[in-house]
Structures are given as C-alpha cells and as structure tokens.
Structure 1
Amino acid sequence: MNTNDLKLFEAVAYHGSFTKAAEAMFTVQSNVTARIKNLEEEFGASLFTRSNRKVALTASGETLMLYSKKISHLIDEAKRSIVKNDTVQGQIKIGSLETMMTIKGPELINYLAVQYPYVDLILQSGMREKLVSDVLMHKLDAAFVPAPVHIPELEQLKIKDDQIVIVAPADCKSLDDAIMNNPLKTIVFDQGCVFRAKLEAWLLSKGIFQFHSTVMNSVEGVINFVESGIGISVLPMDIISKFYSGRTIKTFALPAELGLMTTVLIYRKDLTPTPALNAFITLCKNDAF
C-alpha cells in the first residue's frame, strides 16, 4: 500500500464509481480495480459494496476512510513543517442548500479570495439529507444545513437565522385567499427540500391534504411560476428582499414554529480541520455572515 492507493480509494468513495474515479485520477479503470483489490487483500476485508449502478463504502471502508483522511492531513502537516510555509492553501468542498448558495455563495467566494487567496473553494448545492450524508461520507469537507442536527460525529457552528415566508401571486389579498384555489397548486423543490416540508406542514395544519405540486430545480423558476399565478411556495425572506423585491409577488409570514430556520455549518469532529477548512470556519465565525 502507498499513498496513491489511498488517493484512488478516496476517489472511488467520492465518485461512487470505479470508472469515474479512474477518469478523475487520469488512469484506467483496470488499474483502479486492481489497486482496490490489493487494498482489500492487504486489510482482509471488503472496502466497497458493488452493484450495477454504483459502489459504496462498507463498514471497513468507512474505517479506512477515516485513517486515510488522517494520513493525508499528517502528510500535509509534514510538508508545511518542512518547507516552513505559513501560507494557507488547499482546496475545500462546501455544500449548501440552493437558496443559500444563491444568497451567500458569491460573498463567500469573495471573502475567501481576499483573505485566503490560495484556498480554492468548491461549492456544491443539494438537499439537507444529502449534504449531511456527504459530510459523513467525506465527500464534503463541510456543509451549511438547516438545524437541528443530532449526529454525534458532527461538529456544528450556528451561522444565522432566516425568516421563512409564503410566496404568493400579487393578487392574493391574504393567506386564506392564497389557499382558496381548488385544486391548490404549490411550486416546490424536489422531495427532501426543507422549504417544501415547511409548506406541506403548514397546509396540513390548515386541514389541506390534497394539492398539486409543480417541481422546479431553481429559485428563479419558483419565482417565475408564482409570479405567473400558477401557485404558492415557501422561501427565505432574505432571498426575496435581496433579489426579487421588484417582482409582482406577495409574501406572508408563517407561524413562528415554521417561520424560523436556523442554519448551521457542519463538519466532522473526528478529523482535525485542514488549514484551508480551519480558515473557512474562522471566516464564518468572524465576518462572512
């Protein structure tokens, strides 16, 4: 085993595919397969479950991933100690909801570029559960997700509170007016979206069990459909006031238990943050928000 074997191992875990890992590591699939097989023989355990569609880490693979990350961090520390370079550099992968990416993504990149110009930031959007899973599975270094998060392996840093509102066409006079249409139509993100869950919970509290959902994959799409009078949705007030205050839509407050969303930054407790990730965390604590 060598460090390149571990890099191939991490690539397979990240991409969920031997073929994609080979492409990312500029090698051939047969080499990746052979190196993983050698690792499994060396450790005497299967590291991946294999299916026609993808591969996933086994419990043994999870354990090796933890040590592989620690080894990578130790090697990086050794390099920094030897060359005595105090410059913070490296690459970090950060996940967030689509809405937060829209609001804060450009600002985060600008903050980081000014204060840590040698740190490369990769932003990846996703649903809450996927983001949490990707942090646990080492596919993301950290992620912004809605609280609460009750997972012992994860550290969390409170980032901000957001007011969540109903977004309705401009001709709606009240919330009762917004839900009078039969059938009621909602404009939502896909299953797993926290805003969709809040909207559906509110409708259920109103005794509304039957409604039609149109699924969109962007905030702009949601706003366009609501503005066109097709239906109602739920979004953070911050995104409405910052980007869509001039649109012909109306917003209505949700009840307190649904109308507040706390965002936290999560990252693994069992790994010492790299200097690049530590710089990002410090940035979030100090002035990024």
Structure 2
Amino acid sequence: MNFHDLKLFEAVVFHGNFTKAADAMHTVQSNVTARIKALEEAFDVQLLTRSPRKVSLTTAGEKLLYYSKQINHLLDEARREIHSAGQVIGELKIGCIETTLALKVPALINQFGEEYPDVLLEFKSGLPGDLIQDVLHYKLDAAFVSAPIDIPELEQRHVKKDKLVLVTAANTDIKTALAAKAVRVVVFDQGCSYRARLEAWLNAKGIGRYTCTIMNTMEGIVNFVEAGVGISVLPEDLVTQFYSRRKLNTFSLGRGLDTLSTVLIYRRNVPMSAALKAFVALY
C-alpha cells in the first residue's frame, strides 16, 4: 500500500465508477482495480461493493475514507508548507450561505487580497447543512454558516449577528398575506436557516399548512416576493443595502426569532495551513 493507493480509492468513491476514476487519475482501469484490491488485502476487509453500474462503500470503506481524507489533506498541507518558505501562499476554498456571499465576501476579498496577494480564494455558496458536510469531508477549508453549531470535529468563530425581517410585496401586508385561503411562502430548500425561522414564525401563529415556492437564488426569492407570489424572511441589511428600490415591505418577526448569528467553521482535528490561519485571524 502507498499514499497514491488512497488517492485512487478516493477517486473511485467520488466517481462511483472504476473507469471514470481511472480517467480522472490519468491511469488505466486495470491499475485502479489492482490497487483497490491491494488495499482490501492490506486491511483484510472488503472496502467497496461492486455492481455493473457503480460501486458503493462498505462500512469498512466508510471508515477508511474518513482517515484517507485526513492523510491526504495532511500530505498536501505538508507539501505546501515545506515549499512556501514561511510565506502565506496557496489556495483556500471557503463556503458561504448566499447572504454572506453578498454582504461580506466582496469586502473580505479586498481586505485579504491586500494582505495576502499570493493566496487564491475560491468561494462556494450553498445551504448550511451542505457546507458543514463539505468542511467535514475536506472539500472546503472553512465555511460561513448559521449558528448554533454543535459538532465536536469543528471549531467556530463568531462573525456577525443579523436582524431578520418578514418581507412581502409592497402592496401586501402581513395580515393580508395570512388571511389568504392558502398562505404562500417563497424560500430556499430544506436546510435554509431563513426558511426555518419563517416556518417557526408561522407555527407560532398557528399556521401549519402553507404553499412553498422553492428558489435556489436570493435574486429569485426577491423577484417572486416582489411579484406577490408569497412572503419570505431575509436579513434586514440585505434588503436595505441591495433591494431598497424594489417594491417590498418589511415587518418585524418579533423577539426570539429576529436575530441569527453567522459563524466561521473549520476542522479542529488537523493542523491549519498558514493561509487558513491568516483567514481565521480576520475574526
């Protein structure tokens, strides 16, 4: 067994297919098959369940994948640190919920870029649950997500606290929206913190049934709310900074539901690169 075997193993898991993994790793399928077999013999377990169309992890395979990601991550970091000669260089992959991407990232790129011009920042937007999993599985170095987070493997830094507001079309107030036969909401998919707050507010009002229009962008939510399709919950700063000229009304959610904290999360169980240390130090 060697470290490249683990890279091949991860490629097979990622692609779910030996042929695709071989293409991605610039080798032949027979080599991938042989190296995976060697891994299984080394650990004396079956790591993958084979089928004609795809492969999947066994329980033992899931455990090896967890450690493989740590090993390969540490090796990559070691190479970067050894060749950096004390400089803060490299690449950081950062996840963001979409409002953080709009409100915080542009200024963040400017500030970090001025201090550390040799670090490439790559941002990915997504739902909090997906971003958390990406950090845990080494797909992201860190992520901005909504608090609270109670995961032992993750460290967190408080970033900011947002005030949340109900948002309706300009010609609609909350009483009118709730008086409709079918209350309609415009939200992100399950896992969105703003959607969870809106649903909690509706439940507190005794409204357990409502029609959801699910969007995948902030612009889409604002457009549909403005058109009167439904109501939503958004950060007040987002509405005032980016959508003040749109035909929207905002209303209070009430105490207990109207604030949401954002934290920066990163892995606790591995050493941080110089670039990640510098990024975290901003907070």
For normalisation by structure 1, the TM-score amounts to 0.86
Query: How big is the shift at 1:201?
Result: 1.0
Give 5+ residue unaligned stretches, structure 2.
Answer: none
3-state SS, counterpart of residue 164 of structure 1? strand
TM-aligned CA distance change 1:254 to 1:17, over 3 Å: farther
> For 1:99-248, what aligned pairs fall within 5 Å after superposition?
99-173=99-173, 175-248=174-247
Give the aligned length. Answer: 279
Contact 1:49 1:58 in 2 (8 A): no
Q: Deviations over 1:262-286 (max 9, x none)?
A: 1111111110111121121123x1x
Query: How big is the shift at 1:104?
Result: 2.2
2:72 paired residue number: 68
Query: How big is the shift at 1:256?
Result: 1.9
3-state SS, counterpart of residue 241 of structure 1? helix
Query: How big is the shift at 1:38?
Result: 2.9
For normalisation by structure 2, the TM-score amounts to 0.87
Stretch deviating more after TM superposition (233-242 or 95-104): 95-104
Query: How big is the shift at 1:141?
Result: 1.2
TM-aligned CA distance change 1:7 to 1:235, over 3 Å: same
Whether 1:271 and 2:275 are equivalent positions in the alignment is no
TM-aligned CA distance change 1:236 to 1:33, over 3 Å: farther
C-alpha separation between the residues in 2 aligned to 1:15 and 1:122? 22
Query: How big is the shift at 1:63?
Result: 2.4
Query: How big is the shift at 1:79?
Result: 3.2
2:252 paired residue number: 253
Q: Deviations over 1:96-137 (max 9, x none)?
A: 112222222323333332221221222112211111111112
2:44 paired residue number: 44
Q: Which amino acid in structure 2 is aligned with residue 74 of structure 1?
A: A
Query: How big is the shift at 1:32?
Result: 4.1
Query: How big is the shift at 1:260?
Result: 0.7
1:88 paired residue number: 88
C-alpha separation between the residues in 2 aligned to 1:60 and 1:30? 22
Contact 1:188 1:196 in 2 (8 A): yes
C-alpha separation between the residues in 2 aligned to 1:50 and 1:130? 27
3-state SS, counterpart of residue 179 of structure 1? helix
RMSD: 2.5
Identify which of 59, 77, 82 aligns with 1:78: 82
3-state SS, counterpart of residue 250 of structure 1? strand
3-state SS, counterpart of residue 83 of structure 2? helix
Contact 1:89 1:275 in 2 (8 A): yes
